[in-house]
Amino acid sequence: MIELADGAGTAPWALVLLALAGAVVGGLTGRALATGGYRVESDQAGAVPRHWWWPAVVLAALWAVLGWRIGDFAGWAALPAFLYFGWLTVGLVWIDADVHRLPDGLVLPSYPAVLVLVVVATAGLGDWWALVRALACLTAMYAVYFVMMLLSPSSLGFGDVKLSGLIGLLLGWLGVSEAVVALMAGFLAGGLIALVMLVGRRVGMRSHIAFGPSMLVGAFVGVLVQYHVVT
């Protein structure tokens, strides 16, 4: 497992800068998403969401927290991969919640992008076993989701399968336990979200609920919960 340095040593000004940068990038992303440019003819959805501000708030918080948890590690070499994943998260949550689709145009190019950033982080750490582990977790998580999609195609789509490999790559780089926590937390989050929506009568028993947001919540649970403090 990758050993993450204690985030208490991260300079407060650096966390503030990360939060401000996240707010700016998230705001620009939210405004772009609010145009509905990601929609295609086959999407079945109502009015395009107009709450462009929430990606700014969420990304500011995510980037600050990631800086706190991971910023000191390997001379900050590991941080770009997670910052990119944070940005990807707000976009995918918005789109999947709106049209129940995880666009290939975002997910597939993220594989080489995250892989390059993970290689940079690995070079900064000097632990090339972490890269091997990341690729193994990518394969394992993709296989798990693929089998589950075959068993329950009404619950999981192929977009979820493709996203799972990306989560496995990034979380597996941190450690096998982090990847396992992300997997389990994703399904737990999905169950809780479904329960809340059922109780609130937002959906019916046979309604399809976007699972991508739950997977991404699980990924960040894996990042934030499973870490080893270096004293």
At 74-85, the pLDDT tens digits run 558 889 999 999
| Banded model confidence at residue 166, pLDDT cuts 50, 70, 90 | very high
Q: What is the rounded distance in angstroms from the CA atom of residue 95 to the CA atom of residue 93?
A: 6
CB of 82 closer than 8 Å to CB of 170: yes
Q: What is the rounded distance in angstroms from the CA atom of residue 8 to the CA atom of residue 211?
A: 34
**Residue of higher predicted confidence among 208 and 93:** 93
Q: Look up the pTM and report it.
A: 0.90
Distance from CA of residue 57 to its chain's centroid? Answer: 16
Mean pLDDT for all residues in the chain: 88
As a whole number, mean pLDDT of residues 117-143 equals 94
